[in-house]
Amino acid sequence: MRILLINQAFYPDVAATAQHGHDLARDLVRHGHQVSVIASRSIYGQKGAGLDRKEMVDGIEIHRVGRSLFGKAGIIARVADFALFYLAALVKSMLLPRHDVVVCFTTPPFIAVVGRMLRFVKGTKFVYWVMDLYPDLPIACGVMRSGSLASRFFEWVNRSCLRSADADVVLGRCMADLVRSKGVPEDRIRMIGVWSDQEEVKPVPRDENPYRREWGIGDRTLIMYSGNFGIGHDVETFLHAARELRGDDRVRFAFVGGGKKKEEVERFVREERLESTCVIAPYQPRERLDELLSAADAHLVSLLEGVEGIMVPCKLFGILAAGRPAIFIGDERSEISRVIVENECGASVRQGDVDALVEIVRGYADDPAASVRAGERARNSLIEEHGAVHRFAAWRELLESLAGDAGITRSNGSSST
């Protein structure tokens, strides 16, 4: 079977979509399929084109097109970069030999239009991997006005892509409900969550963790937020909790990663003089992910209320793999809250409920064994249900069923153009 993945970010980028795309591609190659990727020559969010136009990585044929001229200089600049990538990806996809299935992500938004074109022109089966929904996300975050000409146009584009796909892969139950509400037939919606690899990310003993030594945590309870501080994430609730707990020497916070709201986090810590109780760090290398996630006694995951179903933070599954509990801040209907509650591997609080969050953190400081027990349940839930092995099997079943016997035959020797 010949499979094409299209996403702006791919290996060696550390963006979450890049990592999940690389993981899936490697698994497909291991199972005898031919995988090609169209991605950008730029690392996501950076200017320039430092990556090779074409290379083979782990048996994956990567074609890189375009470049970012502006990085993250502003909305108009990013739209210009997106437009250039759309055009370059479309041209490259048309020039490549025909694939049995194309999987389009949502970075940049509406890149699925290319998949729809391939379906129409080449008869390629089209899978829309819905990582988040546009224009729903900017509308929910107040960046775009609902009912505006732009929002109506982008909604029409997204609905047309969702409805024309042979399968829409969603990350959770709330997202499935939202996609269903856009007129997508039930039999085209497939729920396959994101994952973490239980072999790649394993718990690192607390007293041997290098991050705890580097940051001078000692035996204190460390609460961590790691990953993207994006527009869809609530940061105020946990920042105010950190301020409330500044006088409790048993507790430390770590804020690790990047994103649009990272500067807000840094400014709050600086203005509130929390430097002695809060660690600020950039994104860390993927090869140290198990050490990073294991450094915490509990992790924070957040979503602005109203964003549930529009996006699903993938960081939860790395937390589960590391055997640590998660504290979710957001609507209890969110997929993340449901997974945590169903598996008793953490806690869930509403956005703005600082007192409840402070109480949970103090509870872990009072009874460290409670976080250990919750962490054990977290790891077990990943192994039994949410791990990479389960997600990959679901993806292979979907793609192979779409490609059919003809696609599988081609992957075993014959070519297609």
CATH code: domain of residue 26:
3.40.50.2000
Q: Are residues 210 and 279 in the same domain?
A: yes
97, part of any domain: yes
In-domain check, residue 22? yes
241 and 260 share a domain?
A: yes
**Residue 278 within any structural domain of the chain:** yes
Q: What is the pTM of this model?
A: 0.88
Do residues 12 and 153 both lie within one domain? yes
Instruction: Enter the tokens of residue 32.
Output: 């005898």
Residues 163 and 219 in one domain: no
Q: Examine the domain organization and report whether 148 and 211 are in the same domain.
A: no
Q: Count of domains in the chain?
A: 2
Q: How far apart are CA 287 and CA 305, in angstroms?
A: 33
Does 393 map to a domain?
Answer: yes
Residue 379 sits in the same domain as residue 391: no
Residues 353, 405 share a domain: no
Distance CA 268, CA 240 (A): 9
One domain, residues 376 and 392:
no
Cα-based distances in Å from 215 to 77, 135, 258, 279, 358: 37, 40, 18, 7, 22
- Supply the pLDDT for residue 76: 63
The reply to whether 285 and 365 lie within a common domain is: yes
Domain ranges, residue 212: 206-385
Residues 402 and 286 in one domain: no
Task: Characterize 71-83 residue by residue with b for buried, 16 or more Cβ atoms within 10 angstroms of its Cβ, and e for exposed.
Answer: beeeeeebeebbe
Tokens of 63: 């074609």
Is residue 142 in some structural domain?
Answer: yes
Domain assignment present for residue 405? The answer is yes
Asked if residue 359 and residue 230 are part of one domain, the reply reads yes
pLDDT of residue 44: 67
How far is it, in rounded angstroms, from Cα 343 to Cα 322? Answer: 15
How confident is the chain (417 residues) per 10-residue block, as mean pLDDT?
96 88 98 96 70 94 81 63 88 97 94 96 97 92 90 95 97 95 96 92 94 96 95 96 97 95 97 97 90 98 93 92 97 94 97 98 97 97 95 97 63 42
How many angstroms separate the CA atoms of 85 and 134, rounded? 17
Residues 214, 75 share a domain: no
pLDDT at 415: 40
